[in-house]
Amino acid sequence: MTVIDDRQDTFETRAARLDAARRAVDRLESDARIVADEYAAAVDAHVSAVLHHLVVLLRSDDRGRELLYEAVDDPEVFAALVKAGIVKPSLAMRAIQVLDGVRPYLTSHNGDVELVRIADGVAYVRLLGACQSCGSATETLRDSVAEALLEHLPEIREVRDVPPDAAPAAPQTTFIPLSSLTFGRTGR
């Protein structure tokens, strides 16, 4: 068991521990991996049920609703509610997930991609690293990014490349209406 100093117990360190544990589980032999995956699924189901119950309780009270709004502003709470299916991820979050899926291909060409913004059905992305100056490879990488976004996100109808020297990406803020927090199970 790993002991974590409270001063180092941050969202980032917990996420890194989860990623490391997931990689370790992926390296297990088949039978052990099945057991570990079932354990993780059981823990996720339990946490999801607890969060659903908590949201129902908070929504039933005026002060609870205020506290729920405050809690959803915390990135870690928001991530947990998204994972539990209580809050739908924003379009920007889903776009970042899609970009994370093509990132290994981009890094294999010494490149990367950054979502700058999404406005009026247009995703603005910035290619980073070696891929921004390598001619036809840039076009191939840009096409891979555009294809992934357009295929997985019907709300996006166009992808535009932003030059590397343009203004940096603005932080994405998301307003989540309380009505988007579900009462019961999703997907049933």
* Residue 46 structural domain: 10-88
The 10s digit of each residue's pLDDT in 6-19 is 667 888 888 889 88
Residue 105 tokens read as 């291909």
pLDDT band with cut points at 50, 70 and 90 for residue 138: low
Average pLDDT of the chain is 82
Mean pLDDT along residues 162-180: 58
Query: What pLDDT score was predicted for residue 186?
Result: 46
Same domain, 147 and 106: yes
Domain boundary among 64, 88, 112: 88
Same domain, 27 and 67: yes
Looking at the fold, whether 107 and 150 belong to one and the same domain comes out as: yes
The model's confidence at residue 168, banded by pLDDT at 50, 70 and 90, is low
At 143, the pLDDT band (50, 70, 90 cuts) reads confident
Does the pLDDT value for residue 188 go beyond 50? no
Tokens of 120: 């009026």
- Domain total of the chain: 2
183 occurs within a structural domain: no
Residue 134 above 60 pLDDT?
no
> Which pLDDT tens digit goes with each residue over 37-95?
999 999 999 999 999 999 999 999 999 999 998 998 888 888 889 889 888 888 998 99
Q: What percent of the chain has pLDDT over 70?
A: 79
Domain match, 42 and 84 both: yes
Kindly report whether the global pTM for this prediction surpasses the value 0.85: no
